[in-house]
Amino acid sequence: MHLANLRFTVAGILAVIGISAFVIALGYEFGSARRMGPGYFPVVLSGILTLLAVSEMISAAMKPGAIAVDWRPFMAILAAVAGFAVTMALFGMIPAFFVVIGLSTLSEPRFGWVPALILAVVTSTGAWLLFSRFLGMTMPLFDWP
Amino acid sequence: MWENILLGFATAMTVENLMYCFVGVFLGTFIGVLPGLGSLAAISMLLPMSFYLEPTTALILLAGIYYGGEYGGSIASILLNLPGTPSAAVTCLDGNPMAKQGRAGVALFVTAIASFVGGSVGVVALMGFGPSIAQLGLSFGPADYFALMLLGLVAAVTVGGGSLVKGLIMVVLGLLLGTAGTDVTSGEFRYTFGFLELRDGVSLVAIAMGLFGIAEVVSSVREAGTRKITEKVTMRSMMPTRADMRRTVGPMARGSSIGGFLGALPGAGTVIAAFLAYATEIRVAKDKTRFGKGAVEGVAAPESANNAAAQTAFIPTLTIGIPGSATMSIMLGALMIHGITPGPLLVTDHPTIFWGLIASFWIGNLFLLVLNIPLIGLWVKVLQFPYKYIYPVVIALICIGVFSMRTSVFDVGLVVIFGGLGYLLQRTGYSAAPLILGFVLGPMLEENLRRAMLMARGDAMRMVSDPVTGSILGLSAAMLIWAIYGGVRNVIRSRQVKDIPPGET
């Protein structure tokens, strides 16, 4: 899938980050050049970021070009990491490993659930041995909210 | 001097440290061999492992991972012609043609030897110049530190090539991310959005794993299926001919000196070192047409330069506390997690760490040589293993690694954000390295600027008029202006090209 002008969109995201950071930083004490407050640095930086990002938006708008993005692995892998975070918090490490591996394998249309399951079993066993037994990390293997 | 070196070797030679050095080199090579993952990803993924160790041992482990990752990257780039890092791209120029001629083994052997020679030269330079530069660093005031860090950031943006605006955006975004958390001077919370987890700042590992780990894996999922390695690499095929050996001596000597010198300068040291060493070889060669078609000199020179530079890059990182590259900033971050602040005092206050680390650098290089020649078959197997069974495990390891840093689910959530942003940034031509550098230097840069301005009574001209501070700031300004000039010239040129009516070119 191609997004009409990804360069423009990304520069736009950066500009939004810059503007929001600038507005938030205005709430911190600015101080003076001699005695800079906590707001001085963020205000200057987010100001520069916004200006640069806007100039990049302009240059992207003048030279449009389609950039290919692999949305399938992108979404699958981000979902896998997010899924890990949620499952880890609720159900512990072993279920979290199954979730992260299962969702990652959705990156490819024909991965197959058998290899995915084997991969999850092998990885979670390895992680249990390495982290819990060898390094002695204390984290719940299974949990129930 | 000698007793310090002996102290270093005594520290590094304990059984435990040797073991972790070996483990580091092994795991680093393993991760570096995987397509798309380089030494930086290797360090960030394995950083949590080091938390359970003594500071010296932890650093030795990380340094081993670093070398291993670099070398693993070269294996992948020579065999697949897919450079994971910009400096490996130079090795590819002649390394991959060599592989295509069935001389992959020789290319890998020369890479290992050249890395070892370059690394050793770099270690000697680090021993010789490190302490005196630390001495010099003692006389620096906040204004000088500010100027030096600024120089490092400007160099990272201007020297690496690519778009200047995009590079600057990344540095500024990194600096801005660095301001999140508790302000050191006033104690006020900035950009914490009410999250307790953000009071200590954004997690460096979460940023690095998102930008380098997740983003790289996403972009290599599709490509990886299409690559195949057909060359067989055995130990016997690695043995170079006598002519090969003779040809590599000169390039290694020149490459190591170029790399050793350039690496100590802040900015993208290893990349320029590799390029310059390659260019030098072409200049001194009698038959220039051999380059790009599998000349062994074209592998030996950049590899030795790149590794010498990697060593001397530790000079500014350890002795002044200013990292020159993204990888060095992760190392600096690791040091600080272990409660050690790199700087001029490190050499005098923690001699075991400083000298032990240097000694283990050399031991790490030696291990790399010993490990990689017999184990080359294994690494090629790893490279041939279907990528579809590797990346889900890599993602899982990234998750557990980030989580275990602070047993924080919040940090794993940050990885989602930085991973998504990182992939989009990468697709649109932004390089993540300046962001990491800015993020690590940000808090130091701000603190020193605030102190310097307080001492200068708010008069920036007083800072500039100091000879040392002024000349460093002048150098940064000159580099920036030069880069802007270059960018403008390119735009004008491309306009002129466009003006030529089609059909005539």
- Which residue has better confidence, A141 or B214? B214
pLDDT tier at B224 (50, 70, 90 boundaries)?
A: low
- A25 shares its domain with A61: yes
Tell me if B58 sits within 8 A of B331, measured CB to CB: no
| Lowest-confidence region among A18-22, A120-124, B367-371, B498-502 | B498-502
Kindly indicate the confidence band of residue B503, based on its pLDDT and cuts at 50, 70 and 90.
Answer: very low
Cβ separation of B176 and A24 shorter than 8 Å? no
* Chain B residues within an 8 Å CB radius of A141: none
Cβ pair B409:A52 closer than 8 A? no
pLDDT reported for residue A81:
96
Q: Among residues A44, A68, A92, which one ends one of the domains?
A: A68
For residues A59 and A78, state if they share a domain. Answer: no
Distance CA B111, CA B95 (A): 9
pLDDT of residue B353: 80
Q: Provide the shortest C-alpha distance from residue B360 to chain A (in Å).
A: 23
User: Do the Cβ atoms of A6 and B404 come within 8 Å?
Assistant: no
Check residue A1 and give its pLDDT: 43
Tell which wins on pLDDT, B188 or A86.
Answer: A86
Find all residues with CB under 8 Å of B30, minimum gap 6, and list them.
B68, B72, B379, B382
When mean pLDDT is compared over A8-22, B39-53, B218-232, the highest value belongs to A8-22
Q: Are residues A46 and A85 in the same domain?
A: no
The residue that leads in pLDDT, B320 or A78, is A78
pLDDT bucket at B232, cuts 50 / 70 / 90:
low
Residues of B in contact with A135 (CB under 8 A): 49, 52
- What chain A residue is nearest to B219 in terms of C-alpha separation? A70
Instruction: Decide if B446 and A82 are in contact by the 8 Å CB cutoff.
Output: no
Q: Quick one: A7 and A46 in the same domain? A: yes
Q: Tokens at residue B182, please?
A: 């508790």
Total count of domains within chain A? 2
pLDDT of residue B397: 86
**Cβ separation of B221 and A108 shorter than 8 Å?**
yes
Average pLDDT of chain B is 82
Minimum Cα–Cα distance from A89: chain B residue: B409
pLDDT at A26: 92
pLDDT at B505: 33
Asked if residue B502 has pLDDT above 70, the reply is: no
The tens digit of pLDDT for each residue in B14-29 reads 888 888 888 898 988 8
Can you give the residue ranges of every domain in chain B? 2-144+203-409
Q: Closest-CA residue in chain A for B415? A: A81
CA distances from A115 to B22, B161, B456 (A): 32, 42, 65
Same domain flag for A11 and A53: yes
What value does the mean pLDDT take over residues B392-402? 88
A141 in a structural domain: no
Of the pLDDT bands very low, low, confident and very high (cuts 50, 70, 90), residue B266 is low
Mark yes or no for CB contact B458/A48 under 8 Å: no
**Domain check: are A75 and A59 in the same one?**
no
Are the Cβ atoms of B428 and A7 closer than 8 angstroms?
Answer: yes
Percent of chain B with pLDDT over 70: 91
Name which of B173, B219, B420 is nearest A78 (Cβ-Cβ).
B420
Give the lowest-confidence range in B88-92, B228-232, B298-302.
B228-232
Chain A residues whose CB is inside 8 A of the B52 CB are 135-136
Identity of the residue in A24, A29, A56 whose CB atom sits nearest the CB atom of B165: A56
Q: Do A77 and B214 touch (CB under 8 A)?
A: yes
Q: What does the pLDDT average to over B430-453?
A: 88
Task: Reduce the secondary structure of B90-113 to three states and give it as a string.
Answer: HHHHHHHHHHHCCCHHHHHHHHHH
Which residues of chain A neighbour B45 with C-beta distances below 8 Å? none
Residues of B in contact with A116 (CB under 8 A): 392
Angstrom distance (rounded) from CA B439 to CA B444: 10
- Band (pLDDT 50/70/90 cuts) for residue B149 is confident
Does the distance separating the beta carbons of A35 and B176 come in below 8 Å? no
Q: Is the CB of B392 less than 8 angstroms away from the CB of A56?
A: no
pLDDT tens string B53-104: 888 888 888 888 888 888 888 887 788 776 666 667 788 888 888 887 878 8
pLDDT on residue B496:
62
Q: Which of A107-116, B262-271, B328-337 has the lowest mean pLDDT?
A: B262-271
More confident residue, B202 or B133: B202
A105 with B392: Cβ contact below 8 A: yes
pLDDT 10s digits, B459-482:
878 878 888 888 888 888 888 888
Has residue B168 got a pLDDT over 90? Answer: yes
pLDDT of res. B59: 82
Lowest-pLDDT range of A72-81, B154-163, B173-182, B231-240: B231-240
Q: Which residue of A has its CA nearest to B460?
A: A33
Chain B nearest-CA residue for A26: B190
> What is residue B370's predicted lDDT score, i.e. its pLDDT?
82
Per-residue pLDDT of chain A (145 residues; tens, 9 = 90+): 445 688 899 999 999 999 999 999 999 988 888 888 899 999 999 999 999 999 999 988 887 777 878 889 999 999 999 999 999 999 988 999 999 999 999 888 888 888 889 999 998 888 888 777 776 667 777 877 7
Interface test with B, best of A36, A48, A77 (most B CBs within 10 A): A77
B172·A49 Cβ contact <8 A? yes
Task: Tell whether A49 and A93 lie within a shared domain.
Answer: no
Q: Residue range B219-240: average pLDDT? A: 68
B456: which chain A residues are within 8 Å (Cβ-Cβ)? 34
How many CB pairs below 8 A link A and B? 179
Chain B hits for A139, Cβ within 8 Å: 403-404, 407
Q: What is the mean pLDDT of residues B321-326?
A: 78
| Judgement on whether residues A127 and A87 belong to the same structural domain of the protein | yes
Beta carbons of B73 and B88 less than 8 angstroms apart: yes
Stronger pLDDT, B193 or B2, i.e. the higher one:
B193
Domain boundary among A15, A35, A68: A68
DSSP string, chain A: -EETTHHHHHHHHHHHHHHHHHHHHHTS--B-SSSB-TTHHHHHHHHHHHHHHHHHHHHHHHS---EE--HHHHHHHHHHHHHHHHHHHHH-HHHHHHHHHHHHGGGSTT--HHHHHHHHHHHHHHHIIIIIIIS-----SS---
For B138-143, the CB contacts below 8 A with 24+ separation are: B138/B344, B138/B345, B140/B320, B140/B344, B140/B468, B141/B452, B141/B455, B141/B469, B142/B447, B142/B448, B142/B449, B142/B451, B142/B452, B142/B455, B143/B448, B143/B452, B143/B455, B143/B456, B143/B463, B143/B466, B143/B469
The rounded distance, in Å, linking the Cα atoms of B439 and B407 is 22
Are A44 and A79 in a shared domain?
A: no
Of B176, B396, B454, the CB nearest to A45: B176
How would residue B229 be classed by pLDDT, with cut points 50, 70 and 90? low
Chain B CB contacts of A88 under 8 Å are 399, 403, 409, 412
- Residue B473 CA to residue B493 CA, distance in Å, equals 30
Indicate yes or no: CB of B396 within 8 angstroms of CB of A104. yes
Chain B hits for A136, Cβ within 8 Å: 52
Q: Is B484 a residue whose pLDDT tops 50?
A: yes
Domain extent, residue A116, equals: 71-134
**Both A79 and A63 in a single domain?**
no
As a 3-state breakdown, chain B gives helix, strand, coil percent values, each rounded to 5, of 80, 0, 20
Q: Report pLDDT for A86.
A: 94
Which pLDDT belongs to residue A25?
A: 92
Write down the pLDDT at residue B475.
87
- Dist CA B207 CA B416 (whole Å): 10
Q: Which residues in chain A are contacts of B191 at CB distance < 8 A? A: 21, 24, 42
Is 50 exceeded by the pLDDT of residue B501? no
Q: Can you give the length of chain B in residues?
A: 505
Do A56 and B169 count as a contact with CB atoms less than 8 A apart?
yes
User: What are phi and psi for residue B190, nearest 5 degrees?
Assistant: -120, 135
Distance from CA of B13 to the nearest CA of A (A): 23
- Cβ of B400 and A13 within 8 Å? no
- pLDDT of B379 > 90? The answer is no
- b (16+ CB within 10 A) / e for B436-463: bbbbbbbbbbbbbbbbbbeebeeeeeeb
Are A80 and B395 in contact (CB < 8 Å)? yes
Q: Are residues A86 and A121 in the same domain?
A: yes
